[in-house]
């Protein structure tokens, strides 16, 4: 394969941009950092194009460059989760302050599979928030091995070659990573780290959440909450654990100190239903972008709310001002 021509190189590598972005996102937990790493991967690949001999696929070569680029960044800027928090009667909670949302729309391939077989879709469960939170607690190389072996579906030999290590070391790292994930799931009360497929029941729950905001009715939110619900707002070190704490928060913003009138717009992020919050402050005529709530429902109840900054609205095709 001749990739020495710049136009040919750009055309061939662009097919893989979306899945590489998802891969870097899983490694780093940050959408912005993943975007930067994909761009860096493309630059590294172009500079090293003479070293691509075609013995592996272009996709495999790009994944190896991207993975090592992520590991380089994690060495330069190591990230450690905040110490675990365990409120009375609640499961362990670990805050990943650098976590950012990933729109479901960007997990789809750039073209139908039959037209572009090398443009892979990204399975929703591989960018699900509980899974991301868990793997961000793994050491970087264990994280890389787990992702390459279990999500990218590489062999131990391919993974060892990409990471410049041995098959035995890869197998050992994978075993340790899986054991750690099982422990995390148990400590954090996560029976599953897989996002459920969108369903009519889920859409109804999202509708109830949106209607409760429109009505400024905290009781309607409280009726949806699981006893072990958690509500947090990365990158802020602010969280509410348990039904009583979350209920008090909604009581304050809807009744005690309402900041204005809410309008919520349904979207999807990380394989979950989500709601874009718009707020019309007292005396103002427009609803302005406020925040993005990504919701996790379990057995018909609201298990988790993760609220992100409005800077991510453009990723979801959302305007700064909502008219409607």
192-231 pLDDT per residue, tens: 556 666 788 899 999 999 999 999 999 999 999 999 999 9
**pTM passes above 0.85:** yes
The distance of Cα 60 from the centroid of its chain, to the nearest Å, equals 23
For the domain 200-322, what is the CATH code? 3.10.450.50
Give residue 110's pLDDT.
46
The per-residue pLDDT for range 118-173, each reduced to its tens digit, is: 444 566 678 999 999 999 999 999 999 999 999 999 999 999 999 999 999 999 99
Task: Provide CB contacts within 8 A for 288, sequence distance 6+.
Answer: 278, 279, 280, 281, 320, 321, 322
C-beta of residue 148 within 8 angstroms of C-beta of residue 67? yes
Q: Where are the domains of the chain?
A: 6-187, 200-322
Q: Cα dist. 77→33, 102, 272 in Å?
A: 11, 21, 29
DSSP 252: I
Q: Please state the rounded mean pLDDT for residues 71-83.
A: 93
Give residue 135's pLDDT.
96
252 vs 264: CA distance, rounded Å: 18
Residue 124 in tokens: 């929703």
Same fold? 6-187, 200-322: no
Closest of 284, 291, 292 to residue 260, by C-alpha: 284
For the domain 6-187, what is the CATH code? 1.20.140.160
Q: Please state the rounded mean pLDDT for residues 64-83.
A: 94
The distance of Cα 68 from the centroid of its chain, to the nearest Å, equals 20
SS3 63: helix
Neighbour count for residue 9 (Cβ, 10 Å): 18
Q: Please state the rounded mean pLDDT for residues 34-44.
A: 96
Place of tokens 């394969």: 1
Average model confidence (pLDDT) across the chain? 90
Beta bridge partners of 93: 85
C-beta of residue 293 within 8 angstroms of C-beta of residue 323? no
Q: Please state the rounded mean pLDDT for residues 23-32.
A: 97
Residue 53 in tokens: 């001999």
């Amino acid at each position: 394969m001749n990739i020495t021509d710049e136009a040919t190189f750009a055309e061939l590598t662009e097919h893989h941009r979306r899945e590489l972005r998802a891969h870097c996102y899983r490694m780093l937990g940050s959408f912005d950092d993943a975007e930067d790493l994909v761009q860096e991967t493309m630059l590294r690949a172009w500079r090293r194009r003479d070293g691509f001999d075609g013995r592996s696929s272009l996709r495999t070569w790009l994944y190896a460059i991207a993975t090592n680029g992520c590991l380089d960044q994690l060495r330069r800027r190591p990230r450690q989760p905040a110490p675990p928090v365990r409120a009375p009667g609640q499961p362990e909670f670990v805050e990943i302050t650098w976590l950012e949302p990933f729109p479901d729309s960007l997990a789809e391939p750039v073209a139908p599979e039959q037209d572009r077989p090398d443009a892979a879709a990204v399975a929703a469960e591989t960018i699900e928030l509980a899974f991301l939170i868990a793997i961000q607690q793994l050491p970087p190389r264990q994280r890389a091995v787990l992702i390459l072996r279990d999500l990218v579906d590489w062999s131990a030999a391919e993974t060892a070659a990409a990471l410049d290590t041995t098959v035995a070391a890869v197998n050992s790292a994978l075993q340790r990573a899986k054991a750690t994930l099982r422990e995390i799931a148990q400590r954090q009360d996560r029976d599953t780290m897989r996002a459920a497929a969108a369903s009519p029941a889920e859409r109804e729950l999202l509708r109830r959440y949106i209607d409760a905001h429109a009505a400024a009715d905290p009781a309607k939110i409280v009726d949806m909450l699981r006893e072990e619900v958690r509500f947090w707002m990365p990158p802020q070190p602010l969280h509410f654990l348990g039904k009583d704490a979350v209920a008090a928060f909604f009581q304050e913003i809807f009744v005690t100190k309402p900041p204005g009138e809410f309008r919520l717009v349904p979207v999807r992020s990380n394989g979950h239903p989500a709601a874009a919050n718009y707020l019309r402050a007292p005396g103002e005529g427009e609803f302005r972008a406020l925040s993005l709530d990504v919701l996790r429902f379990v057995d018909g109840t609201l298990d988790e709310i993760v609220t992100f900054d409005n800077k991510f609205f453009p990723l979801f095709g959302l305007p700064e001002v909502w008219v409607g």
